[in-house]
């Protein structure tokens, strides 16, 4: 996707300007969509952003969008949510999905069809944060203080990631070839490496089967052969906050010492710090399962069971990396934040990373589309809503000013003229106020 508008330059609302009709906390895709929709509804908008630039986790995402045919949309979304999200919310989501492509094009953006490479296995998506540094949980705290009900608090999405002191964020690890396994700190496999939904792969660490001799213990290791090394970069499907491009054949990372190599399982076990006999047995047992086409230990699908070349092996240390959570303030199909009794909190709306509609499993593109669909719904609400005004207003001391602070003391505000009217733009806390 290509954005049509330039990022605004930082500025601060000085309190002397008119009080805005709508205040948006967070300049991620949800905040941006809400700001545009509210402005198009004829409202003045103030966007608050805690980081120096907007975009949130969208800057590091895979950039996927998705849509589902009308007749299957709600049923598909409901199945992925395990029935834990109100079907009216899913219906509003589905309707918004159908409009996104045209809306993005109307803004001057572009989209392109994408088919995942047929050889790509379920990918472990980016405990250590790998996304936007503004994801601090502030939105959840503010929602609780406002009396919001919460939903999906059990949910998060992440993947196995490589950590190095050379860079601030871990690198997500995924494979383009099947000849690989994950082992724990004892050198034993602990799960079906390819059987988890793409955003749910860290749940493999919870796969404890009493009949097996091990309980998963960190760090884990991804062990792979020459074919998997040459198939594609271990980090590359998603973006990364780090200023580094992974080499296509992983050779640069071998040179850096991030990936270790060996001519046998026993030789590989030494730098991994695991028992050579245990690792050798693990890899030989996997190869026997691959040749038989049946994984009796974890039930890995036969079409992903490819024997590994034990004469040319590699390993990379991996740890849990978290990209975000699905939990947050509960909202309805109109993006209104709800109290525990189901009544909306006047003037408070939520969309995007702070309050995903997804309950358990997340579709490719689920985060970006959720943000834009419910951001637009929240912003468009102001076509009919009365403008917000502080309860106790004194000139130059409005509530909006207290959110901004003096001289950027608390938050940065992003200001610009948008379509002829005042829109001050400013991570993805994605809160939308005022009264409705």
Residues 101-153 have pLDDT tens digits of 889 889 988 887 766 544 333 333 334 445 556 667 788 888 889 999 998 88
Q: Do 156-323 and 10-50+65-113+328-433 fall under one CATH topology?
A: no
Q: What average pLDDT score do residues 264-269 get?
A: 98
H/E run at residue 11: strand 10-11
* Kind plus residue range of the DSSP H or E element containing 205: none
Domain boundaries, the chain: 10-50+65-113+328-433, 156-323
Inform me whether the pLDDT recorded for 416 exceeds 70: no
Give pLDDT, residue 18. 74
Three-state secondary structure call for residue 370: helix
Measured CA to CA, the distance from residue 248 to residue 177 in angstroms comes to 13
Confidence class of residue 273 from pLDDT cuts 50, 70 and 90?
Answer: very high
Tell me how far apart the alpha carbons of residues 290 and 288 are, in angstroms, rounded to a whole number: 5
Hey, what CATH topology would domain 10-50+65-113+328-433 get?
FAD/NAD(P)-binding domain (3.50.50)
Rg of the chain over Cα atoms, rounded to whole angstroms, equals: 24
In sequence order, what are the residues at sequence separation of 6 or more whose Cβ sits closer than 8 angstroms to the Cβ of residue 312? 225, 226, 261, 263
Distance of CA 82 to the CA centre of its chain: 19
123-132, 160-169, 233-242, 316-325: segment of lowest average pLDDT: 123-132
Taking all residues of the chain, what is their mean pLDDT, rounded to a whole number? 78
Mean pLDDT of 207-218: 73
Q: Please compute the mean of the pLDDT values over residues 234-258 and round it to a whole number.
A: 90
C-alpha separations of 339 from 329, 349, 356, 430 in Å: 9, 12, 17, 18
* CATH fold for domain 156-323: Flavocytochrome C3; Chain A, domain 1 (3.90.700)
Statement: residue 423 has pLDDT above 80: no
Top-confidence residue, 68 or 162: 162
- Residue 70: pLDDT band with limits 50, 70, 90: confident
Least confident among 32-36, 197-201, 272-276: 197-201
Name the band, by pLDDT with cuts 50, 70 and 90, for residue 312.
very high
Please list the residues that pair with 413 across neighbouring strands.
11, 48
What CA–CA distances, in Å, run from 26 to 30, 122, 340, 424, 433? 8, 31, 24, 12, 12
Q: Is the pLDDT of residue 60 over 60?
A: yes
The pLDDT assigned to 134 comes to 66
Least confident range from 220-229, 283-292, 368-377, 378-387: namely: 378-387
Residue with tokens 């409901």: 78
Q: Spell out the SS3 assignment of 210-233.
A: CCCCCCCCCCEEEEEEHHHHHHCC
What is the DSSP secondary structure assignment for residue 318, as one 8-state letter?
E
Among residues 422, 405, 432, the alpha carbon closest in space to that of 50 is found at 405
Query: Locate tokens 């009796």: which residue?
Result: 296
Q: Which pLDDT score, from 0 to 100, does residue 307 have?
A: 97
Does the pLDDT value for residue 53 go beyond 70? Answer: yes
pLDDT of residue 243: 87
pLDDT band at residue 1 using 50, 70 and 90 as cut-offs: very low
Give per-residue pLDDT as tens, 71-85.
Answer: 788 988 888 777 888
**Helix 29-40 vs helix 366-380: crossing angle, to nearest 10:** 30
pLDDT, residue 287, reads 98
Q: How many degrees, rounded to 5, is the angle at CA 142 between CA 136 and CA 146?
A: 165
Location of structure tokens 């300049």: 27
pLDDT at 362 over 80: no
User: Which has the higher per-residue pLDDT, 14 or 186?
Assistant: 186
| 203 has pLDDT over 70 | yes
* Top-confidence range, 24-38, 292-306, 398-412: 292-306
Whole-number Cα distances in Å, 413 to 20, 398, 403: 13, 15, 10
Provide the pLDDT confidence category of residue 304 given band limits of 50, 70 and 90.
Answer: very high
């Amino acid at each position: 996707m290509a954005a049509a508008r330039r990022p605004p330059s930082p500025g601060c609302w000085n309190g002397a300007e008119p009080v805005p009709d709508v205040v948006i906390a967070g300049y991620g895709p949800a905040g941006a969509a809400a700001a545009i929709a509210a402005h198009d509804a004829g409202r003045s908008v103030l966007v608050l952003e805690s980081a120096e630039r907007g975009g949130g986790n969208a800057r590091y995402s895979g950039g996927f969008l998705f849509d589902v045919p009308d007749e299957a949309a709600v049923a598909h979304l409901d199945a992925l949510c395990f029935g834990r999200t109100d079907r009216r919310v899913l219906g509003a989501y589905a309707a918004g999905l159908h409009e996104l492509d045209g809306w993005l094009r109307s803004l001057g953006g572009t989209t392109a069809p994408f088919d995942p490479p047929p050889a790509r296995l379920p990918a472990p998506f980016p405990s250590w944060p790998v996304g936007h540094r503004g994801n601090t949980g502030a939105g959840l705290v503010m929602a609780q203080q406002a009396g919001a009900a919460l939903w999906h608090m059990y949910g998060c999405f992440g993947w196995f990631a490589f950590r190095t002191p050379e860079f601030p964020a871990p690198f997500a690890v995924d494979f383009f070839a099947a000849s690989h396994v994950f082992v724990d700190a004892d050198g034993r496999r602990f799960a079906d490496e390819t059987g988890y939904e793409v955003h749910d792969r860290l749940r493999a660490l919870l796969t404890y089967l009493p009949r097996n001799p091990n309980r998963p213990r960190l760090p884990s290791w991804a062990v792979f052969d020459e074919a998997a090394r040459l198939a594609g970069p271990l980090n590359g499907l998603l973006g990364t906050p780090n200023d580094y491009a992974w080499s296509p054949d992983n050779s640069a990372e071998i040179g850096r010492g991030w990936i270790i190599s060996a001519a046998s399982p026993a030789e590989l076990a030494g730098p991994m710090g695991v028992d050579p006999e245990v690792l050798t047995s693990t890899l030989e047992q996997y190869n026997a399962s691959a040749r038989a086409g049946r994984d009796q230990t974890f039930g890995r699908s036969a079409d992903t069971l490819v024997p590994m070349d034990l004469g040319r092996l590699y390993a990379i240390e991996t740890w849990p990396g978290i990209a975000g959570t699905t939990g947050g303030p509960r909202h309805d199909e109109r993006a209104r934040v709800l109290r525990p009794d189901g009544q909306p909190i006047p003037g408070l709306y939520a969309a995007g990373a702070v309050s995903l509609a997804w309950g358990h499993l997340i579709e490719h593109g689920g985060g970006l589309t959720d943000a834009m669909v419910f951001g637009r719904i929240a912003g468009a609400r102001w076509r009919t809503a009365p403008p917000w005004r502080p309860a106790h207003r004194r000139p130059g001391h409005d509530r909006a000013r207290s959110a901004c602070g003096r001289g950027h003391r608390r938050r940065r505000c992003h200001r610009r003229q948008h379509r002829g009217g005042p829109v001050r733009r400013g991570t993805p806390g994605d809160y939308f106020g005022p009264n409705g």
